[in-house]
Structure 1
Amino acid sequence: MLLSSRATPPQPLKLAGPERYLSIKSLLPSTPIPSPSLPSILPRHGKKPPKLNSRRFVRALLWLSLLIGVYYLATSGKKVDPHSTDSAVLTSLGNVYEGGEALELPDRPTPLALMDGKGKRHWTVWIPPSRGFPLPSSEYADLCSQAENVAGHVAGRRRSSQKSQQQDYMRHDPNYLDVDEAQARHFLPTGAEKKNVDSTATPQQTSLPVCNSTLTYVLDATDAGLGSALLGIWLSYGLAERENRSFFIDDSNFPYGNYSTFFIPPTPPPCRPPVPSHRVPCPHQAKHVVVSAATTTKWTFGESFRRQYSQREIFAMARTGYEALFKLRKDDDDYVRTRTMKLRTGTLTKTNPSAAVGDRDGEGEGDRQENGLLGIHIRRGDRHPYEFAYQLGYLPPDRYLSMARKLVGQSERWKLILASDDAEMYDNLDLPDTVRAQQRISLASKKSLGSGLGWEGGFFKDVFWSLGLPAGAPTKAETSYSRESLPQSSTQQVDGSGGRDYRTDPTKEALRLRELLGRAYLLDLAVLAQSDKVVCGVSSHACRILAVMLGWERAFQNNDWTNVDGDYGWKALD
């Protein structure tokens, strides 16, 4: 070690007071520091400390466990599934219902807005299982109208943006839940519809599995015309085939009677339709879609449909339906074949149009020759032309004849065959040298019968609805998209239940007349479709049907189909 060179250590500092040197003691205060107080071993105020009561503690613990157990039992009773998302259900009208096990759902069909446990919004369509199938057409229209509002509400869209979204026919709404999915997630109850599982299926269908996806066309009383129903059902069939859906026809409320009265029913698919509560009219992305006359023009085949598919594609769908479904019953089909053969090979003269409604089969005799056939269809009644000058009236008959002569000239080898809903057209002076398309079922005019009981002026829906009604029964049809019962008199009761709807439940006499009218219309179309050329007005559904029956190439490429109602082109539905 190296030692300091200083000989002595440093001395402490000197002070002036009695303490001559600075030390630690000089820095301490003169008064002592108070020591911290220690807790007393005796309780204040003379009280002894409480002893731990194990009995009270155990009792409190038991009560707490019991309360917790009751709470969990009460809450778990509402949870059917640990993954369940039951929540409040809101209708488009603002009414609140409880979903799932509460079963507080409306007793009418309606779209429902849903919210799961995570706060995510969905919507579905609720149809009470007790309602059966099909629903009235007015309810199908109401469901589609309300579904637009509910879908927009769930998505948080305004009305304008909602409409723009619906321009896309194939748009998939991620918020929509099919009925079976809503039931699986316990938004809707299950099991109640099992009682009706066989209500709409034939005995042969009950043993088949349920189809994966379906499209059912409901023939109803929304429209009195048969032509619009044909186009609707053909388009529906073509669309179902394009979307790989099983196709079904329901004629429960068909005002013309049974579908099998006119056509051979199509071969049923190898599966059966689902329960009625699973078949909804909207949205189109649903697994099981119902198409009614009340929903065709605005929703199923509305503007978004026409934007999605070209005119050629829509025509092709109708053509597919025609080829698959237009199969007349055997006796009518045999008559069409025989009649067409005689028109082509025989010399037919104008027949007496004075026969009443009924079956006739008298044919003219003549030398055999190969004739060209030009079909003319003239629609009168309550269907008026598109052309502005004739919108309140009808196209003059000579316009049809002039176009026919322009196409085929004056050759006697061309036969002009005529079909019309106005019986007086067959004896019109402006339509010489024309013959009836068919004589199996003929309409009788008032002029020919000499009384006020004939068919005059063409097909009018009010006249159609009044056919065969008893005295005092209502004669006016309901407005479009409505199928509520007609007004009644005190004598129009059915088993004591309100008024009778004569549109869907006609008298036997009314049904017989309707069937004759329907068969006459179909026979006219079938014979005209065998023509080489067709002249008609496109404002008529029959004219559009004839184009489909001729086919795209013949109708539009070969110009075998000619419209005389202005410059308007073909379209499926108005």
Structure 2
Amino acid sequence: MILSSRNSPRISLRRAASYNSMEKGPLSSTSSRFSFNHLINSPPPSPSLPALVPRHGKPIPKFNPRKFLRAALWTIGVLVILSYGFSILSGTSPANAVGWTTNGADQYEMVGESELPDFPTPVVIEDKRGRAKWTVSIPPDHEFPLEPKQYAEICMQNMEVARHVADLHSHMHREQVAHYGYYHVDPNFMEVADAEAHGLLPGPKAKTNMKQQQLVGEENTDGLIEMEVCEKSMTFVMETHDAGLGKTLMMLWTAYGLAQNEGRSFFVDDSRWAYGSFNKFFKSPPIPNCRPPPRHEMLPCPHHARHLVATAATASYMFGGAFNEYYEDPRKMEVYRQKPMFEFARQGYEALFQLSNEDEESVNKRIEELRSMTRVPEEEAEDGILIGVHVRHGDRRPYEFQYRDSYVPLDRYGDRARELMHRTFNKTGPHGGLDTLAVEHSHMVLASDDPEVYESEEFSHVARAQEQIRLAAKQHLEAPKPSAMTGMRNFVDESVGWEGGFFAGMFWSLGKPSSVPATAAETPDTKLPPTQEALRLRELVGRAYLMDLAVLGQGTDKVVCTVSATGCKLLAVMMGWEKAIEEEGFVNIDGDFDWRGVSW
């Protein structure tokens, strides 16, 4: 068998030609290389050139201004409807020309009217551009100062009005009020003078119609009416429902220091002070080189107001938590955090605690007598020291828990005073021992509101701070003699002493025999104008208190007292920071409490 092989047919494969713009065409029409590939593989048309015929057969769109205007109107209409809806949901309404707050059951609400009220209140006003602002409207012919309750209500209402105006500007109601700092400036508040200048509040019609009570020292300054009005001021109103004098002094001194720190001129109003005239106790305070503003421009708050009024009723706003947060030194501990407030009070003490000539002379004489008792006759020997002891009884109870219903025992005062004497002269005597001679020439000086303390076993041998004015006990008073018979019965007023100390009820009853309260804790009506006899007796009580403080604060080396009494804290201020705090001359025996300033 013969086998033979067969070759497979040849298959010619040729690569398709691609378009090349650089490829040349045929050289001649008879060339065998001529083909139509360069025409078939031509590039696509340029996309930048417009098509001659619309794609898909659609006509060319044309600009229609009517449709554009219709769409714009629809958009604006929808936005207006949405804005109106949001304003309704947020509970806002257009601002009234005038609005003020009314007090009902301790709740305040806004009332819109077209005329200003005839009583002091914050109001909401609109400027010429329709923007809502708020200020405080006090009728120019209103009596000055206002009642303490009115000042407190204005501060409470100010917060509500400020929140309401802020809601008007933000177009939303905020349930929670933000916590602002002490020197926060409300951009929506308008000063009274500015509101009057823009015609938003009526100014005083005539100066003769304004009931302006002369401030302390104002009537004694020649040419004061020709001076310019102070740019910024603070006026301290001494009226208070507190019978004690200590809290008023502490607030007065601190307010003066704060005013100096803020660049404000300082004035004092004593027109309704329970103790009478300021000049009966002190010399006139420093008078600024400008005159006080109109009384209706003096506001209790906000604090950034141009002219402020400081009162006991608004102490929680001026000297409250925001004040402490701003001025306390966060880098220090314990009492050292209070140094800025201490310095404020110290400034006020140095400027305002200038006793009248008669009392100042008596205090200086008494201090010299006490100092002469401490001098050691031997040369090169160290003199003794004076330790002041301040005992407050009456209606002031201690902070310490175990004595909260009574008083700190008197023996604790004496024991601590003797301990200070021995500690001062320990290791200062011969051979490094106790300086017995200096201890023997050291003495305690006592000041108390309770006459029975002076006769107690612990202090019967102790020198009094001053002896010019004494608060006597009932047993030392002479029985009053009956007056001539004027009827069937002849009533004799019973003598009232100061046993137990100073009580508010006893103070308000001075000069009013028929209104003596049933108990010392019961306080009669404090709004009744005092009689001349009542003012005379109150003046004696106040002068005795001030001279006691002056002798202890200016004439002793150390002081033992209880910080629950404001007089004790005043003594620390009178001693000064270095002597009282750094050198530990101020000694508290009422628990582990430190010095603090204004209490409210």
Output the TM-score relative to the length of structure 1: 0.73
Tell me if 1:242 matches 2:254: no
Q: Distance in 2 between matches of 1:171 and 1:546?
A: 34
**What's the counterpart of residue 502 of structure 2?**
459
Q: 1:122 to 1:476 in 2, by over 3 A?
A: farther
Match of 1:566 in 2: 591
**What is the deviation of 1:523?**
0.4
1:231 equivalent among 239, 250, 254: 250
Residue 124, structure 1, aligned to residue 135, structure 2: yes
- Report deviation, 1:196: 4.5
State the shift of 1:153 in Å: 1.9
1:298-337 aligned within 5 A: 298-310=316-328, 311-337=338-364
How much has 1:152 moved relative to structure 2?
1.8
Cα distance, 1:196–1:383 mapped onto 2, change above 3 Å: farther
Q: Distance in 1 between matches of 2:507 and 2:176?
A: 40
Matching residue of 1:522: 546
Residues paired across the two proteins, number: 444
**SS of structure 2 residue aligned to 1:186:** coil
SS in 1 for 2:355: coil
Aligned partner of 1:449: which letter?
Answer: L
- Provide the residue aligned with 2:97 in structure 1: 88
Deviations 1:502-558 (CA, angstroms, capped at 9, x unpaired): 3xx211111111000000000000000110000000011100000000111111110
Equivalent pair of 2:100/2:111 in contact (CA under 8 Å): yes
Paired residue secondary structure (1:376):
strand
1:433 Cα deviation (Å)? 3.4
The equivalent position to 1:188 in structure 2, one of 201, 216, 228, is 201
Matched, 1:222 2:233: no
| Counterparts in 2 of 1:271 and 1:330: CA distance versus 1, 3 Å | same
- Equivalent residue, structure 2, for 1:385: 398
Equivalent position SS for 2:305: coil
SS in 2 for 1:248: strand
Contact 2:253 2:345 (C-alpha < 8 Å) held by counterparts? yes
Distance 1:316 1:255 in 2: 27
Distance in 2 separating the partners of 1:126 and 1:177: 11
CA contact (8 A) 1:108 1:128 kept: yes
Shift of 1:479: 11
Output aligned runs, 1:66-465, within 5 Å: 88-93=97-102, 94=109, 96-98=111-113, 104-116=115-127, 118-156=129-167, 158=174, 160-162=176-178, 164-165=179-180, 168-192=181-205, 194-196=207-209, 199-201=212-214, 202=218, 204=222, 205-296=224-315, 298-310=316-328, 311-346=338-373, 370-409=383-422, 411-449=439-477, 452-465=495-508
3-state SS, counterpart of residue 170 of structure 1: coil
Residue 557 of structure 1, aligned match among 576, 579, 582: 582
Distance (whole Å) between structure 1 residues aligned to residue 575 and residue 517 of structure 2: 40
Q: Answer whether contact 1:193 1:275 (CA < 8 A) is retained.
A: no
Quote the Cα distance in structure 2 between the aligned partners of 1:89 and 1:521. Answer: 49
Q: RMSD of the alignment, in Å?
A: 2.7
Q: String of CA shifts for 1:397-416, please: whole Å, max 9, x gaps.
A: 11111111111138221110
Secondary structure of the structure 2 residue equivalent to 1:417: strand
Inter-CA distance 280–508: structure 2 relative to 1 (3 Å threshold): same
Deviations 1:85-135 (A, max 9, x none): x95111122454556xxxx21111111122345443221111111213111
Query: In structure 2, do the counterparts of structure 1 residues 346 and 413 end up closer, same or farther at CA, with 3 Å as the change threshold?
Result: closer
* Corresponding residue for residue 23 of structure 2: none
Report the residue type matching 2:295 in the other structure: P
Judging changes above 3 Å, is the alpha-carbon distance between structure 1 residues 519 and 223 closer, same or farther for their aligned structure 2 residues? same
Q: Is the 8 A contact 1:374 1:533 kept in 2?
A: yes
Deviations 1:430-459 (A, max 9, x none): 335311110010110123338752111111
Deviation (angstroms), 1:222: 2.2
Q: CA deviation at 1:209?
A: 1.3
CA contact (8 A) 1:88 1:96 kept: no
Quick one: which of 529, 536, 541 aligns to 1:512?
Answer: 536
Structure 1 distance, partners of 2:307, 2:535, is 31
Partner residue, 1:539: 564
Q: 2:516 and 2:522 mapped to 1: Cα distance?
A: 17
**Cα distance per residue 1:434-490 (max 9 Å; x no partner):** 11110010110123338752111111111100111152587899999xxxxx76xxx
User: How far 1:172 moved relative to its partner?
Assistant: 0.8
CA contact (8 A) 1:387 1:566 kept: yes
Q: Deviations over 1:276-299 (max 9, x none)?
A: 111111111111100011112x11
Q: Which amino acid aligns with 1:463?
A: M
What is the distance in 2 between the residues matched to 1:265 and 1:214? 17
Deviation at 1:267, TM superposition (A): 2.7
State the alpha-carbon separation in 2 of the partners of residues 127 and 475 from structure 1. 40
Q: Between the two proteins, what is the percent identity of the paired residues?
A: 45
The residue identity in structure 1 corresponding to 2:445 is I
Distance 1:153 1:246 in 2: 32
* Distance in structure 2 (CA, Å) of the matches to 1:287 and 1:476: 45
Asked if 1 retains the 8 angstrom alpha-carbon contact of 2:98 and 2:126, the reply is: yes
Three-state SS of the structure 1 residue aligned to 2:414 is helix
Contact 1:182 1:188 (8 Å CA) reproduced:
yes
Structure 1 unaligned residues grouped into runs of 5+: 1-85, 349-368, 481-485, 488-499
**Residues 213-267 of structure 1: per-residue CA shift (max 9 Å, x gap):** 1100001032111111111110111011001111000000011010000000113
Contact 1:129 1:193 in 2 (8 A): no
* Residues in 2 aligned to 1:402 and 1:184: alpha-carbon distance in whole angstroms: 66
Structure 2 CA distance, aligned partners of 1:90 and 1:479?
A: 41
Mapped to 2, the partners of 1:528 and 1:398 lie a distance apart of 19
Cα distance in structure 2, aligned partners of 1:161 and 1:138: 24
Residues 360-382 of structure 1: per-residue CA shift (max 9 Å, x gap): xxxxxxxxx95411000011111
- In the alignment, the residues of structure 2 paired with residue 127 and residue 211 of structure 1 have an alpha-carbon distance, to the nearest angstrom, of 19
Question: How far apart, CA to CA, are the structure 2 residues paired with 1:142 and 1:477?
Answer: 30
CA 1:312–1:442: 2 relative to 1, 3 Å: same
Moved over 4 A (4+): 472-480
Q: CA deviation at 1:429?
A: 1.1
Counterparts in 2 of 1:195 and 1:258: CA distance versus 1, 3 Å = same
Letter in 1 for 2:531: T
Which deviates further from its counterpart, 411-420 or 201-210? 201-210
Q: Which runs of 5+ in 2 are unaligned?
A: 1-94, 103-108, 168-172, 329-337, 376-381, 423-435, 480-494
Q: Deviations over 1:129-163 (max 9, x none)?
A: 1213111111111111111211122223646424x
Alpha carbons of 1:389 and 1:477: their partners in 2 closer, same or farther (altered >3 Å)? Answer: closer
Partner of 2:55: none
**Does the 8 Å contact 1:371/1:413 carry over to 2?**
yes
Q: Secondary structure at the match of 1:406?
A: helix
Comparing 256-265 and 402-411, the one that deviates more: 402-411
**Equivalents in 1 of 2:240, 2:317: separation in Å?**
18
**Using the alignment, how far apart are the partners of 1:447 and 1:226 within structure 2?**
26
Summarize the Cα distance change of 1:478–1:91 in structure 2 as closer, same or farther, 3 Å threshold.
farther
For 2:182 and 2:229, the matched residues in 1 are separated by 26
